Structure 1
Amino acid sequence: MNAQELKQISDWLIDGARSAASPPQMVAEFCESLVGAGLPLWRVGLFVRTLHPDLLGINFIWRPGAEVVAGSADHSFADSPEFKNSPLAIVFGEAREVRYRLDDPETKRFPFFDDMRAEGVTDYIALPLLTTAGYTHASSWSTKHGNGFSDEQLNALRSLMPPLTRLVEITNLRRTAALLLDTYVGNRAGERILAGQIRRGHADTMEAAIWLSDLRGFTALSDRLPSETVVDILNQYFDCQVHSIRTHGGEVLKFMGDGLLAVFPVTQRDGSVQQVCSRALEAARESRASVDAMHYQVGEALEHFRFGVALHVGKVLYGNIGGGNRLDFTCIGPAVNLAARLEKIAGRLHRTIVASEGFAGICAGGWSDLGEFPIAGFSKAERVYGLADEVPAS
């Protein structure tokens, strides 16, 4: 590689790899430009740690003439023999490079190199990517060239690590921000925040199906079980709902103890109000089945659980609410208040799923009229509906 080619590649990285529309495309263009400059690459890996409750990191594997393969690893991978007995464990643990010719007997201690030798790999180097925040990502480079990598080629790779690291760091920070916002405030709210909707009082009115649920008997449960057990039960209980809500187009806005507030927005991309309400009802039916099947072993006793969910549809104010520099992206309005009152009525009636007259009228069929009830804070009584196929719990 001559100095001019190396500078062009470095400048491309420093400029943000603008010709690449995605991380896999960036990895592909980067590796292909190195091959074009004379670097005999066979396999390149980029390993990026993430700040995510479920994922330890993501990786991208490039080989000549093939699509870049993107993958991920959960947090348990850090304790697996596959990782602990790999050269990358040294890179991540000690933030230093690892270089081996594959005819070196020392490589026998790494099972990964057995596969590489079978492919005809002759030389391998793993280089750390040291971020400004003190984190370490990693890259690995291998060749099948008979003489392996030359010193000039290795120095060229080393010289490209700082600009590659800055690009990876910036891209990863942007991805981490999106993932954390999605995790903690929801996908749609996260999109709005990243788009700049961050000022207090900045809110929009939207029509939505509203979901408000809670776990029956949670106060008594909390009083008689250890707090760690209660947290584990809550996580399992919310798992019974969140997947169904998101699968059917809803967004979880808030967990309030054992309570859950979600909305199913009625927008052009989500379909008609009837379609949205039907999906919300289907999510409620799925969640009912999941909670019914949920059980938890506490000592010799087997705990079973019940929950209630109220469904309503109406206008909500959706945006930034809070005090000082502590904001919450949530929804408020009379429609949300009514859903909260209906959920309490569901508990009194020993029902799992109840709906307002507005929701039941839109999502017609399969409802029983449970009567008219006064609603605290509302001038008119509200007619409440329950599913006809549901037998009230004793």
Structure 2
Amino acid sequence: MQTAAKGPDMTMPDKNPPTLSDGVVRWLTNGTRDERFIDNIFAEMCNRLQQAGIPLKRSTLHILINHPQWLGARFMWSDGMRGAEIALVDYDVRERSEYIGSPANEMQNGASELRENLERDPALGRKHALYDEMRAKGLTDYVAWPLYHTLGKRHLITFATDRPGGFDDAHIAALKNLLPVLALVSEIRVKNRLARTLLETYVGAHAGELILAGATRRGTGTTVRAAIMICDLRDFTKISDNWPRDDVIDLLNDYFDAMSEPIARHGGEILKFIGDGLLAIFPLSQPDACANLLHAVSEARGAMAALNERNKNSGRAPLNYGIGVHVGDVMYGNIGSASRLDFTVIGPAVNMASRLEALTKQIGRTVLLSRDFAEQVQPKFELERVGKYEVRGFSDPIELFAYPG
């Protein structure tokens, strides 16, 4: 019997030879689904890379974020840290020396890899203060790669070591092996945070939390007892007709900063900006909600006085405003069309606050309070009774109080 000749070995070569980071990749894939924050995942990943035998001394993760104040965030891990240090980066950074010529700058300009031997003569290497800082800390090798998210978004991850001779080929292969999985894991967390940030920015923290929890059906909501504050800028039409557009936008932003920051600081929630006005509530479920509203009004007055002083020095006219305040039950929830909703409050109590704001022009007081609200804060706050007035939409005259100052 003739033995058949052996054919060529058809065994497929291993396209993914094992690396030092395989265990870390498995952990990223299967062990992070309950962790909400990317900084915690990033720090744990760095510690696990060390345990796997990669001589990691320092690592950073740079993420571009959609935030009204911040361009991005930098997470930094160093040897011995359990967590990551978080630094927010403002939009003006791209004009400063810390960014120009940096690895982040090169990466955003299209670089696919940066590798810097920190042991060689600095005169022969890249010129940036970051490399000098790393040399001063005894680091010997630095590598940076883009971290790709969907739709062409490029972020940045860097690794550095103090091992004599730097990273070897096995270390670099292991670190590269992480990138695709880390990109997926980080994108999920970044987009979760982005959704939260956008909701907080456009509808407020509390409403955003409710929406993320599933309160998205039209007509759903709850009854909330709250102190309601409505503020409106005076003579805005005249200002917008006569001022340059950019000046009008700057004016509105300064005005809303002066009003909004005290409201947020004292536990209020701004539900909407309406042209040159705003609507805010202080839910009575919070301790001292009505008192907190008046504290916010006091601080806003001070901020507006300071803003008017600055405007005066630059030749601008002072800004005047009116505030109406009431307390009562409001319907708090989703209202709108089938495809476009607003998360807001409605009800007679909101209408009353709006009417009182309008009456500030007629009565000549900056802040008008209803009797219902005044009873919540007297005698702690000294208020001035201004009498009973007819209020449009309400059958009986309403007793009003002014908040002196």
Question: Aligned partners of 1:37 and 1:382: how far apart in 2?
Answer: 74
Q: CA offset at residue 298 of structure 1? A: 8.7
8 Å CA contact 1:372, 1:384 repeated in 2:
yes
Q: Residue in 1 aligned with 2:260? A: 242
Q: What do the CA deviations read for 1:224-249 (whole angstroms, capped 9, x no partner)?
A: 21222111101000000111000000
1:305 to 319, 322, 338: 319
Asked whether 1:139 is paired with 2:154, we answer no
Q: How many residues align?
A: 383
Residue 99 of structure 1: how far off its partner (Å): 0.7
> What stretches of structure 2 of length at least 5 have no aligned partner?
1-16
Shift of 1:20: 4.5
Q: Which runs of 4+ in 1 moved over 4 A?
A: 296-300
The offset of 1:95, in angstroms, is 4.7
Of the structure 1 ranges 312-321 and 77-86, higher mean CA displacement relative to structure 2 is found in 77-86
Q: Which residue of the partner structure matches residue 98 of structure 2?
A: 82
The partner residue of 1:10 within 16, 21, 25 is: 25
Between 187-196 and 96-105, report the one with greater CA deviation: 96-105
Indicate conservation of the 8 Å contact 2:263/2:296, yes or no: yes
CA distance in 1, matches of 2:313, 2:244: 12
- Matched to 2:78, the amino acid is R
Matched, 1:370 2:386: yes
Contact 2:311 2:318 in 1 (8 A): no
1:48 aligned to which of 60, 63, 76: 63
Cα pair 1:58 1:72 within 8 Å, conserved: yes
* Superposition pairs of residues 1-394 of structure 1, within 5 angstroms: 3=18, 6-15=21-30, 17-18=32-33, 20=35, 22-66=37-81, 67-102=83-118, 103=120, 105-267=123-285, 270-271=286-287, 275-295=288-308, 297=311, 301-365=315-379, 366-387=382-403, 389-390=404-405
Cα 1:183–1:106, aligned 2, differ >3 Å: closer, same or farther? farther
Q: What secondary structure is seen at the aligned counterpart in 2 of 1:120? A: coil
Give the letter aligned to residue 320 of structure 1: N
Instruction: Give the secondary-structure state (helix, strand or coil) at the position aligned to 2:133.
Output: helix
Give a deviation string over 1:324-372, Cα, whole Å, max 9, x none.
Answer: 2111111000000000000011121121111000000111131111111
SS of the equivalent of 1:302 reads coil
More displaced stretch, 10-19 vs 333-342: 10-19
8 Å Cα contact 2:19-2:170 kept in structure 1: no
User: If the length of structure 2 is used for normalisation, what is the TM-score?
Assistant: 0.91
Deviation by residue 1:203-229 (Cα, 9 ceiling, x = unmatched): 111011100001112122122212221
Relative to structure 1, the CA distance from residue 125 to residue 197 in structure 2 (aligned partners, 3 Å threshold; closer, same or farther) is same
Residue 299 of structure 1 and its aligned partner are, at CA, apart by 10
Query: Which deviations, in whole Å up to 9, do the C-alpha atoms of 1:367-387 show, x marking residues without a partner?
Result: 111111111111221111102
Kindly indicate whether the alpha-carbon contact (under 8 Å) linking 2:224 and 2:283 is maintained by their aligned counterparts in 1.
yes
> In structure 1, what residue type is equivalent to 2:372?
G
Q: 1:49 deviation in Å?
A: 0.6
TM-score by length of 1: 0.93
Give the gaps of 5 or more residues in structure 1.
none
The sequence identity of aligned pairs, in percent, is 39
User: For the structure 1 residues 323 and 40, does the alpha-carbon distance in structure 2 shift closer, same or farther, using more than 3 Å as the test?
Assistant: same
Q: Sort the Cα spacing of 1:303 and 1:16 in 2 relative to 1 into closer, same or farther, 3 A.
A: farther
Secondary structure of the residue aligned to 1:370 is: strand
